[in-house]
Chains A and B, each alone.
Chain A
């Protein structure tokens, strides 16, 4: 794929009305949808009207005045970007008169622009330069001794891009991108007339402003005024490869723009169906970790974790891995080892890891990090609807009328989707936020929630059941839908249950702390406000009632008929880039790919035939069970690919004890992560830039990951797994991940139609994609639920056993922040630390006051599980009685605090509710000091022995 800029038609496609008009452009008769601009019409018919302020990712603006055209019968020269086509219109876009006018405008532009094209970072990739050529500008007769905006200081505060006001042409594309595309409203034009200037917020620099560094402004800038530092440093790119981001579950596609072998920048791809040309600070800019000096590029082994690492050849590392696993199995039994697949690796790699375990280890001891995030989604939606996945695509939100966000903070966690949601909200959709914290969605520029239900952590089920109580008792449910699509008897059972007075909003008010009136109003709005769409995150799943909450959500959607069409549905916002895919690929200990239980004889037979071995019909161990079994001495070996369970899993002491009890821990990762402190074999991993494969995002969209550069460590992860498998006696012969996907398709009915040639041709596919759904499935359950009848499940509110009391009076809930991702392994190794250098404890002013704490003070955070120290952030974002922190930094180790309590159905940890005490501190806890010492010791790498 060579470098070519994506065609910019200047204005967005018209909103479909079904009507079309026929007109003549430069003598050519064309028929186009009503509402199309003349500019877009000309572009679609192969023409090209000069433009600078217009770009098809934003509404037309009409300020640059380069795109003037002649329309027969109309006075003057209308701007083609703001003038829609009309029936019978005769348009001329290229005449001598128009050339003259356009040259006149361009001459003015250049009279206030530096003439340093040859040394400018955007040389060759500059629209101003291109358009000056296009309009035939030869001479600037105004001279250069007049007033000028040149010579202003650059703003280089943002770590990823520079703002040079001297090169700004005040087209407002950046300002409009910030408003229309990102929805942050951080930029504005200050001053009037000739003094008009782009300014972040009120005269602040970019870093200090509200700017979230999504890059939309940089992408929108037609000159070098806003330009990536990397382009300035490396030069303009000369080729581009489209690939999929490896951060969150939105699954943005990017053009990886290269200059030679060097990655220059990641630019969101307009044709990406998940992101539609938008990006966030992580995917757009925070890819530097791929080349970070911390990356381990050679395999290493050691006999015990107290020894330093010893670098070895790949052959030795692989052989040692195989022999250790076989040795342990020989000594402790077939089921004494297991593995953990990675939600950051590709579908193909994940499939291979679980295949290695089932086929090579001969057991089902495979689990994945979805255990600790969305396993309740899998369980809950499969119980009620019949599939372990969200029901909609992201585009669906643009049809929603009422959006209910539960336990999710999309502006931080899923920013690119949040921008679309905010766009819909600005169009007038209503918003209900159910969250203990006052997240940005509750109130931000031009977005305000109709209802914020700041419930006490751990009371989701009670709250959702109270909403159901209102809907049922006030007869707001959709009886026709329920009778047609669900089991009526199950509905009435459920309706009787939720109607009981103890489940009314009034009855649960003391429990949730939310006013009953507000709950009633929210329930009525959701049930009667048109298309109701529920979006939820880990604030739903990571509870001891996570699965019940997911089912309570599904119940609400079914009761109100909000399933099975555009604009509605139940939408889990997946955390990691491929958490959906990892689950789809059979990473859970009880099921094969496509969610088929290991005890199912027919399915097992299919795999046995394909793999030539007999497979275990018993479910395997979940991650916490593995750790239990390890401390009990029955589980001795673990292969962990691309996960850092020590930092990400709850109750760090428990995880550490489990890992320490094993005889062979193999970690495959980019970096010596925290888990590797307990590892005996380290296999260096490859980044998403270094391999081919697919990721599946939160909307079940399977998208290609394409190799941009050769793996620095020598092998793509799938190749490494194949080497281990073959060393263990299997005979895998994959030459390319496409062959792995072919095997997945052959063995998984929902993936039967998924092949690389189709992904190349169509860009992406949403499963199920098979004979029944040849084009994939953007919206699920359209004609009926996958399981047949939708199932109402009675969801009793069973409070968590984690209770506050005199010793632990506050409730801790955890989460993440925009600039960091998960345990921070990647983002901490980028300049994103500029925004979030450490984890902080958010605490309400009244709670801080009671403890004599000020903003920025060091505090000790203690729970029944452990204690740590970090600095306080006094804020009203959290309610009194609730504290909050992120878990991005190993120095803090928030999971030292979290407990072993977990979801009753899936053992998804209860990260969101921990009873804690907070007090002033003098410095790091003993544990933190010990841990830091141990980590330092454990990360030692022995110097290479002399070659002689």
Chain B
């Protein structure tokens, strides 16, 4: 793996990037569970502020490919 492909750099990650990263990371870690999307949604609902969730919804709309399928599915559940 080359260093250039790293997600992070010395720069501080923008809040938007970080929210997407966090959502994807949660989804990735819950992927082996039976209902990963439900759990991801529940996790985000339980631990994130409303503003963070709202911002993630906006980001998902702006950058449809940024979220992993599980994260995206979870976000749709939260929106419902």
Establish whether residues B8 and A796, one from each chain, have CB atoms under 8 Å apart when the complex forms.
Answer: no
Decide yes or no whether A280 CB sits under 8 A from chain B: no
Decide yes or no whether A101 CB sits under 8 A from chain B: no
Decide yes or no whether A497 CB sits under 8 A from chain B: yes
Q: Which chain A positions have C-beta within 8 A of B50?
A: 618
Residue from A618, A794, A904, A906 within 8 A of B32 (CB atoms): A794
Q: Give B1-22 interface residues, CB cut-off 8 Å to A.
A: 1-3, 6-10, 12-13, 15, 18, 22
Residue from B6, B10, B26, B34 within 8 A of A905 (CB atoms): B26
For B7, give the chain A residue with the smallest CB separation: A801
Q: Give A837-883 interface residues, CB cut-off 8 Å to B.
A: 864-866
Residue from B1, B22, B49 within 8 A of A619 (CB atoms): B49
Q: Which chain B positions have C-beta within 8 A of A905?
A: 26, 29, 43, 47
**Least Cβ distance of B42 to chain A in Å?**
11
Establish whether residues B46 and A900, one from each chain, have CB atoms under 8 Å apart when the complex forms.
Answer: no
Interface bits A783-801 vs B (CB < 8 Å: 1, else 0): 0000000000111101001
Would A548 and B29 be within 8 Å (CB), given that A864-B6, A905-B43 are in contact?
Answer: yes
Decide yes or no whether A157 CB sits under 8 A from chain B: no
Residue from A629, A801, A901, A904 within 8 A of B15 (CB atoms): A629
Decide yes or no whether B66 CB sits under 8 A from chain A: no
Establish whether residues B47 and A590, one from each chain, have CB atoms under 8 Å apart when the complex forms.
Answer: yes
Stretch in A170-178, A219-227, A575-583, A620-628 with 4+ CB within 8 Å of B? A620-628
Q: Report the separation of the CA atoms of residues A794 and B28 in the bound assembly, to the nearest whole angstrom.
A: 13
Interface bits B32-63 vs A (CB < 8 Å: 1, else 0): 11100000000100111111100000000000
Q: Which chain A positions have C-beta within 8 A of B12?
A: 631, 651, 653-654, 657, 900
Q: Report the separation of the CA atoms of residues A806 and B29 in the bound assembly, to the nearest whole angstrom.
A: 27
Would A597 and B46 be within 8 Å (CB), given that A900-B12, A900-B13 are in contact?
Answer: yes
**Least Cβ distance of B38 to chain A in Å?**
14
**Least Cβ distance of B66 to chain A in Å?**
15
Q: Which chain B positions have C-beta within 8 A of A864?
A: 6, 8-10
Q: Report the separation of the CA atoms of residues A796 and B33 in the bound assembly, to the nearest whole angstrom.
A: 9
Establish whether residues A798 and B15, one from each chain, have CB atoms under 8 Å apart when the complex forms.
Answer: no
Decide yes or no whether B78 CB sits under 8 A from chain A: no
Decide yes or no whether B25 CB sits under 8 A from chain A: yes
Decide yes or no whether A736 CB sits under 8 A from chain B: no
Q: Which chain A positions have C-beta within 8 A of B28?
A: 798, 904
Establish whether residues A628 and B1, one from each chain, have CB atoms under 8 Å apart when the complex forms.
Answer: no
Establish whether residues A904 and B51, one from each chain, have CB atoms under 8 Å apart when the complex forms.
Answer: no
Would A900 and B8 be within 8 Å (CB), given that A619-B48, A628-B18, A808-B3 are in contact?
Answer: yes
Would A493 and B15 be within 8 Å (CB), given that A545-B29, A618-B50, A864-B10 are in contact?
Answer: no
Q: Which chain B positions have C-beta within 8 A of A801?
A: 6-8
Q: Report the separation of the CA atoms of residues A150 and B31 in the bound assembly, to the nearest whole angstrom.
A: 74
What is the interface residue range for chain A against chain B?
A: 35 or more
For A333, give the chain B residue with the smallest CB separation: B51
Establish whether residues A798 and B29, one from each chain, have CB atoms under 8 Å apart when the complex forms.
Answer: yes
**Most B CB within 10 A of own CB, among A625, A651, A801:** A625
Decide yes or no whether A899 CB sits under 8 A from chain B: yes
Q: Which chain B positions have C-beta within 8 A of A589?
A: 49
For B24, give the chain A residue with the smallest CB separation: A904
Establish whether residues A796 and B29, one from each chain, have CB atoms under 8 Å apart when the complex forms.
Answer: yes
Decide yes or no whether A603 CB sits under 8 A from chain B: no
Decide yes or no whether A544 CB sits under 8 A from chain B: yes
Q: Report the separation of the CA atoms of residues A55 and B29 in the bound assembly, to the nearest whole angstrom.
A: 54
Establish whether residues B32 and A796, one from each chain, have CB atoms under 8 Å apart when the complex forms.
Answer: yes
**Least Cβ distance of A917 to chain B in Å?**
10
Q: Which chain B positions have C-beta within 8 A of A545?
A: 29
Residue from B3, B7, B32, B34 within 8 A of A807 (CB atoms): B3
Would A803 and B1 be within 8 Å (CB), given that A493-B34, A631-B15, A899-B8 are in contact?
Answer: yes
Q: Report the separation of the CA atoms of residues A675 and B46 in the bound assembly, to the nearest whole angstrom.
A: 30
For B25, give the chain A residue with the smallest CB separation: A904
Would A632 and B15 be within 8 Å (CB), given that A794-B33, A796-B29, A905-B26 are in contact?
Answer: yes
Establish whether residues B43 and A803, one from each chain, have CB atoms under 8 Å apart when the complex forms.
Answer: no
Q: Which chain A positions have C-beta within 8 A of B8?
A: 801-802, 864-865, 899-901
Decide yes or no whether A358 CB sits under 8 A from chain B: no
**Least Cβ distance of A866 to chain B in Å?**
7
**Least Cβ distance of B18 to chain A in Å?**
6
Decide yes or no whether A230 CB sits under 8 A from chain B: no
Decide yes or no whether A18 CB sits under 8 A from chain B: no
Would A335 and B48 be within 8 Å (CB), given that A493-B34, A794-B33, A905-B43 are in contact?
Answer: no
Q: Report the separation of the CA atoms of residues A866 and B28 in the bound assembly, to the nearest whole angstrom.
A: 27
Would A805 and B13 be within 8 Å (CB), given that A619-B47, A796-B31, A904-B25 are in contact?
Answer: no
Establish whether residues A618 and B49, one from each chain, have CB atoms under 8 Å apart when the complex forms.
Answer: yes
**Least Cβ distance of A810 to chain B in Å?**
13
Establish whether residues B15 and A628, one from each chain, have CB atoms under 8 Å apart when the complex forms.
Answer: yes
Q: Report the separation of the CA atoms of residues A906 and B46 in the bound assembly, to the nearest whole angstrom.
A: 11
Q: Which chain A positions have C-beta within 8 A of B2?
A: 805-806
For B48, give the chain A residue with the smallest CB separation: A619
Q: Report the separation of the CA atoms of residues A843 and B8 in the bound assembly, to the nearest whole angstrom.
A: 25
For A545, give the chain B residue with the smallest CB separation: B29
Q: Report the separation of the CA atoms of residues A284 and B15 in the bound assembly, to the nearest whole angstrom.
A: 45
Decide yes or no whether A499 CB sits under 8 A from chain B: no
**Least Cβ distance of B46 to chain A in Å?**
6
**Least Cβ distance of A428 to chain B in Å?**
39
Q: Report the separation of the CA atoms of residues A628 and B50 in the bound assembly, to the nearest whole angstrom.
A: 15
**Least Cβ distance of A811 to chain B in Å?**
14
Decide yes or no whether A634 CB sits under 8 A from chain B: yes
Q: Which chain B positions have C-beta within 8 A of A900?
A: 8, 12-13, 18
**Least Cβ distance of A470 to chain B in Å?**
20
Q: Which chain A positions have C-beta within 8 A of B46?
A: 590, 597, 599, 619
For B15, give the chain A residue with the smallest CB separation: A628
Q: Report the separation of the CA atoms of residues A629 and B51 in the bound assembly, to the nearest whole angstrom.
A: 10
**Least Cβ distance of A26 to chain B in Å?**
68
Q: Which chain A positions have C-beta within 8 A of B31?
A: 796, 798
**Least Cβ distance of A806 to chain B in Å?**
7
**Most A CB within 10 A of own CB, among B6, B22, B46, B47:** B47
Q: Which chain B positions have C-beta within 8 A of A548?
A: 29
**Least Cβ distance of B11 to chain A in Å?**
9
Q: Report the separation of the CA atoms of residues A497 and B31 in the bound assembly, to the nearest whole angstrom.
A: 13
Establish whether residues A335 and B47, one from each chain, have CB atoms under 8 Å apart when the complex forms.
Answer: no
**Least Cβ distance of B52 to chain A in Å?**
7
Q: Report the separation of the CA atoms of residues A795 and B28 in the bound assembly, to the nearest whole angstrom.
A: 11
Q: Report the separation of the CA atoms of residues A619 and B18 in the bound assembly, to the nearest whole angstrom.
A: 18
**Least Cβ distance of B77 to chain A in Å?**
16
Interface bits A661-689 vs B (CB < 8 Å: 1, else 0): 00000000000000000000000000000
**Least Cβ distance of B71 to chain A in Å?**
12
For B26, give the chain A residue with the smallest CB separation: A904
Q: Give A788-838 interface residues, CB cut-off 8 Å to B.
A: 793-796, 798, 801-803, 805-808
For A625, give the chain B residue with the smallest CB separation: B52
Interface bits A770-782 vs B (CB < 8 Å: 1, else 0): 0000000000000
Q: Report the separation of the CA atoms of residues A904 and B29 in the bound assembly, to the nearest whole angstrom.
A: 7
Establish whether residues B10 and A865, one from each chain, have CB atoms under 8 Å apart when the complex forms.
Answer: yes
For A620, give the chain B residue with the smallest CB separation: B49
In the assembled complex, 10 residue pairs joining A and B whose CB atoms fall closer than 8 Å, in A order, are A621-B49, A625-B52, A653-B10, A801-B7, A803-B6, A805-B3, A864-B9, A899-B8, A905-B47, A907-B22
**Given A631-B15, A632-B15, A805-B3, 16 additional A-B pairs, CB 8 A:** A335-B51, A590-B47, A618-B49, A618-B50, A619-B46, A619-B49, A622-B47, A625-B49, A631-B12, A793-B33, A805-B2, A807-B3, A864-B10, A900-B8, A900-B13, A905-B43
Can you list the 4 inter-chain pairs with the closest CB atoms, starting with the nearest?
A: A796-B32, A904-B29, A628-B15, A805-B3
